[in-house]
Structure formats: structure tokens, C-alpha cells
């Protein structure tokens, strides 16, 4: 690996690709290194849910910026990357939540019943928070579009060690102006200063012959806390993340679902939940098991962005929906520390350190 780029991004999931796209647009010479197929880690799959409701006003504001970012990406991609399904939420103080969104300038309503927005839902499930600008992110299309944008900047390489301005790959060392580390479940192995937990996630897709909004149930009323999203025409996926799985972060297999994990009880709970909360769903048609990384604590949307000289790290959970904003935040962090000018026309001048 002889070339010395301005920025080397480790991890070609949605976050690394978004950061690389933002940096490239600012004129930086970027490479993205992934040990496998880009988008095959936690970012894999057809769809992700987008919602505006988050725990704090700054997070809600970030979600609103991300929504605008998805519109801009869709325009550049020439196809919608975020659908118009809307998002529904059951549980919590929905009136207060709707008010919090409206204060932030985001359309929101309290519904007694979901009605035509989600005919498969139990008719007595309510009240619900309706977020009309939420919906299903076309995750696979977004990854494919970003990869097309980045072209041969995306490379296959197993990164074995990172340091400010330098990394070691299986093919040799690479020096660069700045390393951006967003290796998902592989992050801790390369940068043990960040504490993450790993949770095994089971998602079951059911046949669904009616419109389906992005779904979040925080009520416990139907026996589980779930999320759901239409992951293709005629399909609705329901997910549960319940099984802690904590391999040693240094284990090269720490990024994968541990062998022998028993999903039987979780599967039963998803099926029982679907039967009571969504009695009009059809048969299960698909199942996905993945490892999620989460930051310990109560906030399901927490992430850590850690910037040092020559190295910036980002990891967390539920990052997909925020990808356009996270990409820009990483590009800001890198340009703030850039020591040399990026050459291409249109580059943002690096700020003083
Ligand atoms: C089933 C499921 C449902 C989800 N639902 C939602 C949702 O509805 N809404 C939402 O916003 N989020 C959701 N999430 C979470 C969201 O998908 C993740 O937070 C996001 O995809 C993380 O992206 P990432 O780029 O940080 O990590 P990843 O996509 O995991 O990318 C990390 C990349 O780094 C690479 N890598 C790791 N180690 C190395 C190494 N040593 N050398 C080189 N490359 C390396 C990996 O191969 C991988 O491609 C869901 C996740 C799952 C699994």
C-alpha cells in the first residue's frame, strides 16, 4: 500500500461510506478500506427505519438534518432512498413526544388508531405518535449508490492496527493525513478505548398485503419492545434485540454472531408478538440474525465521535438513519485537523487546529 491519501476510512458500512462521500466532495483524496464486501456488516439488508423522535432536542434536530440529507442523497442518486411510509410509535407519552417534535418544526400527530396507515396493526393499538416524514430507508440502494459514487476509492483490505495518520493492513502499512475509524463491531479490536456492547438481533419478515409505516413499540403492551419496517413490497420485518453476546473485543470473530447462540426463545417472542400486535400479517418469509453494537446506557440512539490528531473514531447504534449527518460530522472533524490543503477544486479550506 504505497499511496498516501489525505484520509483513510476504515470500514465500508453506511457510516464510513457517508464520511468518504462527504470528504470527497470537499476535495480530499480518500480511500475506504473494508475487509469484506462494503455494506455487509451491520449495514446489510434491504431497509432501515427512519424516525425523528429521539431522546433530546439536539438529537431531534440532527434527525431533521438527516432527513434533509436523505432528500439530497435521493436527488443525487436519481431514486428515492427514503420512502414516504411515515413512522408510527406506540408507548411513552405520545402527546408530549408529538409536542417535542412540533417545537423542533417537525410535523407530528397523535392518532387514536393507525387505520389505513397500518391496517395490519391490532385495531385497539393506540394512541400512536404519527411522524409523517419518517419511513423506510432503502438501505441496500443507499450503499450501492455510495459505492458507485466512490468508485475505486473503496478497496478490500483487512486492517490490523490503526494509529494517528497510519495503519497496518494485511498488505502492508499505509500512511495518510488522517484515519477515520468506523469499523462497526470491529472497532474495539482496533481502538480498545471505546466501550461497546454487542447484542444479537433477530429480525423476522412476514408477508404483508397492506401499507406499513416504520414501527416502534415502546409500550410493552404486546409482550415485547420491537421495531418494524417494510423491507420490500408485500413484506414487513419485526425485530428484537435481546441477547447480550460479549466476545473478547480482541477476538477476530468479535464482529460476527457467536456460534451456537440459542435464538429459540427470541424467535418465539417475535412470533407471539406478531400474532397479537399484527394479527393481519401473513406467514413468516425471511429471517435475519445480526450482531448490533450499542453504547452502554439508556439511549438507544447513542453514539461516540472521538476526534484526536490524525485519528477520528465513530461508533454506536441506530446510525443508519443519521448517516448523511454523521458523514458530514466526520468530514468536519477531519477538516478541522487537516494539516495540508486538499487539492481538488471546491475543497473546503482546512480550519486552523
Ligand atoms: C437488523 C438490523 C436492523 C437495524 N435497524 C435500524 C433502523 O431501523 N434504523 C437505524 O437507523 N439503524 C438500524 N440498525 C443499526 C444500523 O444498521 C447500524 O447502526 C449501522 O448500519 C452501522 O453502520 P457502520 O458503518 O457503523 O457499521 P457496519 O455497517 O458494521 O460497517 C463496519 C464495516 O467495517 C468493516 N471492518 C470491521 N473491521 C475491519 C477491519 N479490521 N478492517 C477492515 N474493515 C473492517 C466491516 O467489514 C464492515 O463492513 C439496524 C441494524 C441491524 C443489524
Nearest CA among 170, 195, 166 for reference residue 7: 166
Overall average pLDDT of the 5-25 stretch: 98
**pLDDT at 260 (0 to 100):** 76
Ligand 1, residue 48: give the atom nearest the CA.
8
Domain spans of the chain, in order of start: 1-84+135-195+299-353, 87-132+197-294
Q: Which residues contact 105 (CB under 8 A, 6 or more apart)?
A: 64
Q: Kindly tell me if the per-residue pLDDT of 185 is higher than 60.
A: yes
Question: Is the CB of residue 51 below 6 angstroms from any atom belonging to ligand 1?
Answer: no
Here the cell at position 98 is 408529538
Give the architecture-level CATH label for domain 87-132+197-294. Answer: 2-Layer Sandwich (3.30)
Name the maximum alpha-carbon separation found in the chain: 63
DSSP assignment string, 124-167: T---EEEETT-EEEEHHHHHHHHHHHHGGGEEE--EEEEETTEE
Whether the per-residue pLDDT at 347 is higher than 80: the answer is: no
C-beta of 274 in contact with ligand 1 (< 6 A):
no
Cβ(89) to ligand 1 under 6 A?
Answer: no
Assign domain 1-84+135-195+299-353 to its CATH architecture. Answer: 3-Layer(bba) Sandwich (3.50)
Residue 353's pLDDT band (cuts 50, 70, 90): very low
Q: Which of 167, 151, 162, 53 is nearest to 99 (CA)?
A: 53
What ipTM does the predicted assembly reach?
0.99
**Which tens digits make up the pLDDT trace of 187-210?**
988 998 888 888 889 999 999 999
Per-residue pLDDT tens digits for 215-271:
999 999 999 999 999 999 999 999 998 777 776 767 776 677 777 778 899 999 999
The rounded Å distance from CA 238 to ligand 1 centre is 18
Buried b (16+ CB within 10 A) or exposed e, 319-352: bbbbbbbbbbbbbbbbbebbeeebeeeebbebee
Q: Provide the percentage of residues in the chain whose pLDDT is more than 70.
A: 93
Q: What pLDDT, in 10s, does the model give residues 122-161?
A: 999 999 999 999 999 999 999 999 999 999 999 999 999 9
Task: For a ligand 1 pocket test, name from 13, 143, 252 the mutation site with the most ligand atoms within 8 angstroms of its C-beta.
Answer: 13
Tell me: pLDDT of 341 over 60. no
- For atom 44 of ligand 1, the residue with the nearest CA is 34
Closest ligand 1 atom to Cα of 39 = 49
For the Cβ of 182 lying below 6 angstroms from any atom of ligand 1, the answer is yes
Residues 44-73 have a mean pLDDT of: 97
Amino acid at each position: 500500500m504505497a499511496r498516501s491519501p489525505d484520509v483513510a476510512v476504515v470500514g465500508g458500512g453506511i457510516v464510513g461510506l457517508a464520511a468518504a462521500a462527504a470528504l470527497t466532495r470537499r476535495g480530499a483524496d480518500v480511500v475506504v478500506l473494508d475487509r469484506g464486501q462494503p455494506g455487509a456488516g451491520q449495514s446489510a439488508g434491504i431497509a432501515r427505519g427512519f424516525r425523528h423522535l429521539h431522546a433530546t432536542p439536539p438529537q431531534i434536530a440532527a434527525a431533521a438534518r438527516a432527513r434533509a440529507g436523505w432528500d439530497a442523497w435521493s436527488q443525487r442518486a436519481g431514486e428515492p432512498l427514503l420512502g414516504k411510509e411515515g413512522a408510527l410509535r406506540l408507548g411513552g407519552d405520545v402527546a408530549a413526544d408529538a409536542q417535542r417534535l412540533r417545537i423542533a418544526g417537525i410535523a407530528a400527530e397523535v392518532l387514536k388508531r393507525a387505520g389505513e396507515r397500518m391496517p395490519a396493526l391490532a385495531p385497539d393499538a393506540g394512541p400512536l405518535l404519527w411522524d409523517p416524514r419518517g419511513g423506510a430507508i432503502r438501505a441496500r440502494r443507499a450503499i450501492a449508490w455510495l459505492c458507485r459514487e466512490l468508485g475505486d476509492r473503496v478497496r478490500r483490505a483487512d486492517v490490523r492496527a490503526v494509529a494517528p495518520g497510519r495503519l497496518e493492513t494485511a498488505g502492508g502499512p499505509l500512511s495518510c493525513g488522517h484515519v477515520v475509524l468506523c469499523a462497526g463491531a470491529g472497532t474495539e479490536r482496533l481502538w480498545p478505548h471505546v466501550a461497546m456492547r454487542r447484542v444479537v438481533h433477530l429480525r423476522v419478515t412476514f408477508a404483508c398485503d397492506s401499507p406499513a409505516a416504520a414501527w416502534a413499540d415502546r409500550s410493552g403492551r404486546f409482550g415485547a419492545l420491537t421495531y418494524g419496517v417494510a423491507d420490500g413490497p408485500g413484506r414487513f420485518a419485526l425485530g428484537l434485540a435481546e441477547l447480550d453476546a460479549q466476545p473478547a473485543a480482541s477476538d477476530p470473530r468479535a464482529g460476527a454472531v457467536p456460534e451456537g447462540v440459542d435464538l429459540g426463545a427470541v424467535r418465539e417472542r417475535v412470533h407471539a408478538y406478531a400474532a397479537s400486535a399484527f394479527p393481519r400479517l401473513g406467514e413468516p418469509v425471511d429471517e435475519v440474525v445480526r450482531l448490533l453494537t450499542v453504547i452502554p446506557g439508556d439511549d438507544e440512539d447513542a453514539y461516540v465521535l472521538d476526534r484526536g490528531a490524525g485519528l477520528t473514531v465513530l461508533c454506536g447504534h441506530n446510525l443508519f438513519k443519521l448517516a448523511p449527518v454523521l458523514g458530514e460530522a466526520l468530514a468536519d472533524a477531519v477538516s478541522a485537523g487537516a494539516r495540508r490543503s486538499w487539492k481538488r477544486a471546491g475543497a473546503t479550506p482546512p480550519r486552523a487546529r
